Amino acid sequence: MNKLVKVKKKNKIAIIITIIAIVIIAYSSIKIYIWVLENNKSRKEKNKIDNITIITEKTGSEEEKIQEEKEILPTDPYWDFIKMNYVEVDFQNLLKENQETVSWITVNGTNINYPVVQHSDNEYYLNHSFDGSENSAGWIYLDYRNNIENTEKNTIIYGHSREDGTMFGSLKNIINNDWYSNSQNYVVKMSTPKENTLWQVFSIYKTPYTNDYIQTEFSNNNEFLKFINKIKNRSIYDFKTNVGANDNILTLSTCYGINDRVVMHAKLIKKQER
């Protein structure tokens, strides 16, 4: 009898383990299936956007560069950056698709070439696509505290780090030597309905989760400069870029794994009114 009881117990345990394994496999398969579907949906959405959006390159003049507080050495790649063309986007069709469209952003050396949206909070576009449908891939979005029409001290843009490289999935490229060893990558281009801008990268890093780099308001210049020194000191590469009290900066942020973030900071060097 004892042996029979033991056999039955073993069989029950084996059945339970098998059921658990089947449930785990089924759950994982469903999650993967949904992930693939949402990735495909995001790609189709991006293809649609690309087909309806007219993007052109615009030349600028020397007078459009932002006045620098310190002299820039002739050897600094800055002089090449300000000669680069702007990206200018026709927002007419984008706004028809989504009235919350506020800008378009392009990051050299990555796949980032997207319209940027903005909601009344920082949660909505974590799980909604450009067309407003639910999608865990989310979209590229501007911090709700920012005003894109009034360049602020720290303009912040977020996006999910998707494994297929969509959204901000390729932003992690910036912490690779292949990216930061090429100075042509140190430029971010942005277009809004009112102006086109060029931004020069000055800090890149991976950091454990913190919100101390997404500060948008500063009580005075000293507080802002302390903030600049903090984020410059985190950089894994020294861009040798001067950032002063009168500068405006752009921050791009995405997840890296579960607990870390990859962050880029760039300063405004040139703008052109439309």
> Which pLDDT score is estimated for 78?
92
Query: Over 70: is that where the pLDDT of 39 sits?
Result: no
Token pair in block for residue 239: 């861009």
Model confidence at 264, in pLDDT bands (50, 70, 90)?
very high
Number of C-beta neighbours around residue 147 at 10 A: 12
Percent of the chain with pLDDT over 70: 87
pLDDT in tens, 126-136: 999 999 999 98
Q: Return the higher-pLDDT residue of 143 and 150.
A: 143
Average pLDDT over residues 47-62: 93
Model confidence at 229, in pLDDT bands (50, 70, 90)?
very high
Query: Over 90: is that where the pLDDT of 2 sits?
Result: no
Give, in degrees to the nearest 5, the angle at Cα 181 between 175 and 185: 80
Q: Which residues contact 128 (CB under 8 A, 6 or more apart)?
A: 134, 135, 138, 139
> Which pLDDT score is estimated for 247?
96
Q: What are phi and psi of 25, to 5 degrees?
A: -65, -45
Give, in degrees to the nearest 5, the angle at Cα 130 between 115 and 58: 15
> Which pLDDT score is estimated for 30?
57
Please say whether the beta carbons of 168 and 112 come within 8 A.
Answer: yes
pLDDT in tens, 109-121: 999 999 999 999 9
Q: How far apart are CA 90 and CA 88, in angstroms?
A: 7
What pTM did the predictor assign?
Answer: 0.87
Average pLDDT over residues 252-258: 93
Give the distance from CA 256 to its chain's centroid.
12
Query: Over 90: is that where the pLDDT of 215 sits?
Result: yes
